[in-house]
């Protein structure tokens, strides 16, 4: 069967990932709190199960993608993540939520690194930055479409978004199996693939590249801090809203938490679309200094937004900070990908990207349970304040990379 244009396949996949992610995760906290009965520590431990899987498998799957096929790795990722999402929807017990999250993390490692490495090889490192930003916009549009569907299905059954979202993920894997090309990747010759020496050599080359580069070493430290802070925000921010505030009515209309979270997620996406469009028009993704300056500002804003959110006693100021945080965070992903891909040779691209993902996962494993325990035994507010303090070194470290990059240029 004739393959489609690589850029078109990438954009379609990004849209569908956004659709399924928001379809599942717009109301998942309500499902986990009200149906499964999870507390603050369990909410974080579920995320830790995901990150342990990512930590264990991120580099091995990245190496396999570099040796065998980035297309095959991506296909496996979508099938596995679809199955994981379905499991959580059909088994509302904490142990099955944790198993589902571990499987979701395992599946994610097949996509992480491999998918962006695949499209970079297909279109070229100089052109891929703009495509990453466009892909992020399509992800946000898919997310926007997924929110009302999530609210609609969750109003009938809080488990239904998991079942439908998982099935769509599996269908995406089938679509990619038929139409996803792979022309820019040169796999390791067949006679060398079974050799463990080849696997360790690929890993060693990736490590050596990072060790030789002061830029990549400093970025590795940023990836660690990003992992350390993020678990508390991702797992506890919405739960903090549920615990702290009575959700107000709007214009006399009574609004339950499901509807409120739907509206909030729609606001997140609309502002994220706007921020990505501003970045697309104002940040030259082919120039390292412009990328680094933008990332420095983004992480300073994210830190401030978390701190104000945690300290605010106002419902509307809190959701304003959530919207601001999500808008700038959404830009950080494609800009980071664009900069990082420019620093890595094609031969070990998926491996090095996976190493960055593993550092992030290690940070989440290291800090997640501790911050979850703080949320249970002290308060979610305290855990979120600590999360902001942990993230605070990221902006100065990007400033350091900018200085190092200017010297190398």
- The mean pLDDT of the chain is 84
**For range 211-216, the mean pLDDT:** 67
Would you say residue 196 has pLDDT above 50?
no
**For range 207-226, the mean pLDDT:** 74
User: CATH number, domain at 377?
Assistant: 1.20.1250.20
195 located within any domain:
no
Q: 113 — alpha (psi -120 to 50), left (phi > 0) or beta?
A: left
Would you say residue 405 has pLDDT above 70?
yes
Position 17 scores a pLDDT of 94
Pick from 98, 86, 78: nearest CA to 17: 78
Tens of pLDDT, residues 22-33? 899 888 888 998
Q: Supply the range of the domain harboring residue 357.
A: 6-177+203-408
Position 20 scores a pLDDT of 96
Q: What token pair was written down for 67?
A: 């040796």
**For range 256-271, the mean pLDDT:** 82
Name which residue leads in pLDDT, 209 or 194.
209
Strands (E), 282-358: none
Q: What token pair was written down for 117?
A: 């490495």
> Which of 235-244, 363-372, 394-403 is modeled with the greatest confidence?
394-403
Position 223 scores a pLDDT of 84
pTM: 0.68
194 located within any domain:
no
13 located within any domain:
yes
Name which residue leads in pLDDT, 99 or 221.
99
- Phi and psi at 26, nearest 5°, equal -70, -40
197 located within any domain:
no
> Which of 195-204, 255-264, 358-367, 376-385 is modeled with the greatest confidence?
376-385
Exposed, middle or buried by CB within 10 Å (0-12, 13-18, 19+), for 190?
exposed
Q: What token pair was written down for 366?
A: 């290291």
198 located within any domain:
no
Would you say residue 202 has pLDDT above 60?
no
**For range 196-217, the mean pLDDT:** 59
57 located within any domain:
yes
Neighbour tally for 386: CB within 10 Å: 21
Report the run of H or E that residue 50 belongs to, with start and end.
helix 40-67
**For range 133-156, the mean pLDDT:** 89
Tens of pLDDT, residues 390-403? 999 999 999 998 88
Tens of pLDDT, residues 304-323? 999 999 999 899 999 999 99
Q: Do 231 and 368 meet the contact criterion of CB atoms below 8 Å apart? A: yes
Would you say residue 351 has pLDDT above 90?
no
Split into its structural domains, the chain has a count of 1
Q: Is 113 helix (H, G, I), strand (E, B) or coil?
A: coil
1 located within any domain:
no
Residue keyed to tokens 């499991």? 87
Task: Name the DSSP class of 27.
Answer: S
143 located within any domain:
yes
Neighbour tally for 101: CB within 10 Å: 22
Q: CA-CA distance, 335 to 330, in Å (whole number)?
A: 9
Position 193 scores a pLDDT of 44
Task: Provide the pLDDT confidence category of residue 89 given band limits of 50, 70 and 90.
Answer: very high
**For range 63-88, the mean pLDDT:** 89
């Amino acid at each position: 069967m004739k393959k489609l244009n690589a850029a078109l396949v990438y954009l379609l996949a990004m849209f569908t990932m956004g659709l399924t992610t928001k379809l599942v995760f717009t109301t998942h906290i309500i499902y986990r709190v009200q149906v499964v009965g999870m507390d603050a520590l369990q909410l974080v431990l579920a995320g830790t199960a995901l990150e342990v899987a990512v930590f264990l498998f991120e580099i091995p799957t990245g190496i396999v993608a570099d040796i065998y096929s980035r297309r095959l790795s991506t296909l496996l990722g979508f099938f596995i993540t679809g199955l994981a999402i379905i499991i959580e929807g059909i088994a509302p017990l904490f142990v099955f939520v944790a198993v589902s999250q571990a499987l979701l993390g395992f599946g994610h490692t097949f996509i992480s690194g491999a998918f962006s490495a695949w499209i970079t090889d297909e279109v070229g490192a100089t052109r891929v930055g703009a495509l990453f930003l466009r892909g992020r916009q399509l992800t946000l549009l898919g997310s926007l479409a997924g929110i009302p569907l999530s609210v609609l299905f969750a109003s009938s059954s809080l488990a239904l978004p998991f079942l439908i979202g998982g099935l769509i993920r599996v269908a995406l894997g089938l679509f990619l199996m038929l139409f996803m090309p792979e022309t820019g990747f040169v796999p390791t010759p067949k006679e060398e693939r079974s050799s463990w020496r080849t696997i360790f050599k690929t890993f060693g080359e990736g490590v050596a590249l990072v060790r030789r580069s002061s830029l990549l070493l400093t970025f590795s430290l940023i990836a660690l801090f990003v992992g350390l802070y993020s678990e508390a925000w991702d797992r506890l921010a919405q739960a903090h809203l549920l615990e702290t505030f009575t959700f107000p009515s709007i214009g006399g209309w009574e609004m339950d938490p499901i509807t409120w979270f739907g509206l909030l997620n729609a606001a997140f996406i609309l502002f994220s679309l706007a921020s990505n469009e501003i970045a697309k028009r104002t940040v030259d993704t082919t120039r390292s200094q412009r990328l680094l300056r933008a990332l420095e500002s983004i992480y300073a804003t994210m830190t401030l937004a978390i701190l104000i959110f945690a300290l605010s006693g106002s419902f509307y100021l809190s959701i304003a900070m959530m919207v601001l945080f999500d808008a700038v965070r959404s830009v950080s992903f494609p800009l980071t990908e664009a900069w990082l891909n420019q620093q890595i040779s094609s031969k070990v691209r998926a491996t090095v990207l996976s190493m960055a993902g593993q550092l992030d996962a290690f940070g989440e494993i290291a800090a997640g349970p501790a911050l979850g325990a703080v949320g249970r035994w002290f308060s979610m507010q305290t855990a979120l304040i600590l999360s902001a303090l942990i993230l605070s070194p990221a902006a100065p470290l990007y400033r350091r990379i900018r200085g190092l990059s200017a010297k190398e240029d």
